[in-house]
Amino acid sequence: MIRFEQVTKKFPDGTEALKDVSVVFPTHKLTVVIGPSGCGKTTLMRMVNKLETPTAGDIFIDEESITGLEEVKLRRSIGYVIQRIGLFPHMTIEDNVSLVPRLLEWDKEKTAARVEELLKLVGLEPEVYKERYPLELSGGQQQRVGVVRALAGNPNIILMDEPFSALDPISREQLQDDLRNLQQEIQKTIVFVTHDMDEALKIADMVVVMRDGKIEQTGSPQELINEPANDFVRSFIGLDRINRQRTFGERKLKEFLSVFGMEPIGDALQVSLETTIDEAFSKLESSGYANLQIVDDGRVLAYASDRDLVKAALRKEEVENV
């Protein structure tokens, strides 16, 4: 868990980037920080690994203040993925991914095994890719390497600063899906900064909406859509998204099977094809489950997470009935 307690940040030019911010980033959840340019979201994230320091207030990781922690040691314990990817062009993919394990003085066998494990995790066959150089990979492949490099030292916390914003729409959507699926497996505490509301609603367990250095609202994607805290949040989410969900909420799960997956995604509540989107959200909320198993006559047709339901409810195009 990461906790900000009354944190303020003033820069020498007088800019107040954060104003008495208190917020908790829950353990093993993907929290998206979103807001307009200059709202303080990147400053907030950079404080977690002491790339920025508070003017006032304190930050805690698992109830330990980071104020007295040695910066290099802290940063090596936290994964970091940025928009520009930051791979070293003169180093092979294997050398890029193994950088932090080598700094942590892992032995060669452990490091090599970790590189292979992580490349396989993101669909890059080690024997094909580990001896290649970054410029021999597509943008999407490079960003996958950037993600696994952040995971290489097995950190509990991953910071992601608009990592997909420079990619083409198809690669971006694929990487969003990959990240969501990856998080199901690795269960890290992820802080993800973006300015794209569709991206936030698609991948987040929790969303933090910021404006002018302050937090306007925190909550799940569904909570933000159903109960925006004020006009700013309502406007930032967009009335079209809110209205789409209200319209699609009465549609049935059977209409959205193409959105859902066939791979099991953890403990799941069993529901029928005839369940509506709204009913599915209600069942999940009351049951404590985060996932659904969609069945018809005892046959499993698909699995859906709570975020898959949001994706279905916000889907712009029509979906064919099965």
> Which uninterrupted H or E stretch holds 171?
helix 169-186
Encode burial over 76-85: b for 16+ CB neighbours within 10 A, e otherwise: ebbbbbbbeb
CA distances from 239 to 217, 234, 314 (A): 17, 7, 11
Asked which of 114-128, 196-210, 262-276 is least confident by mean pLDDT, the reply is 262-276
Q: What is the pLDDT confidence band of residue 246, given thresholds at 50, 70 and 90?
A: low
First vs last C-alpha separation in the chain: 42
Residues 299 and 151 in one domain: no
Within-domain flag for 318 = no
Residues 213 and 300 in one domain: no
Q: What is the pLDDT confidence band of residue 165, given thresholds at 50, 70 and 90?
A: confident
Residues 233 and 285 in one domain: no
What is the per-residue pLDDT for 244?
66
Residues 214 and 293 in one domain: no
Last residue of a domain, one of 240, 261, 279: 240
Who's near 50: CB < 8 A, 6+ residues apart?
66, 69, 71, 74, 75
Last residue of a domain, one of 240, 258, 287: 240
Within-domain flag for 319 = no
195 phi, psi to nearest 5 deg: -110, 5
Residues 234 and 210 in one domain: yes
Nearest residue to 26 (alpha-carbon basis) of 208, 193, 203: 208
How crowded is the C-beta side of 11, counted as CA atoms within 13 Å?
A: 9
Task: Look at the chain and report how many structural domains it folds into.
Answer: 2
How confident is the model over 298-313, as pLDDT tens digits?
899 999 887 788 777 6
Please state whether beta strands 189-194 and 157-161 pair in parallel, antiparallel, or not at all (unpaired): parallel
Token duo for residue 295: 């069945």
Residues 44 and 11 in one domain: yes
Question: CA-CA distance, 92 to 149, in Å (whole number)?
Answer: 12
Within-domain flag for 322 = no
Residues 170 and 143 in one domain: yes
Within-domain flag for 229 = yes
What are the start-end ranges of the E strands in the chain?
A: 2-10, 16-25, 30-34, 56-61, 64-65, 78-82, 157-161, 189-194, 206-211, 214-219, 269-272, 291-296, 299-305
Who's near 102: CB < 8 A, 6+ residues apart?
111
Last residue of a domain, one of 182, 210, 240: 240
In this prediction, what percent of the chain has a pLDDT beyond 90?
A: 53
Residue 86 belongs to what domain range?
A: 2-240
CA distances from 4 to 61, 78, 138, 204, 235 (A): 9, 17, 37, 19, 26
Would you say 232 and 211 are in contact if contact means Cβ atoms under 8 Å apart? yes
Token duo for residue 94: 């294997």
Question: CA-CA distance, 270 to 216, in Å (whole number)?
Answer: 35
How confident is the model over 260-288, as pLDDT tens digits?
888 777 788 999 999 988 888 888 878 88
Q: What is the pLDDT confidence band of residue 322, given thresholds at 50, 70 and 90?
A: very low
Residues 39 and 188 in one domain: yes
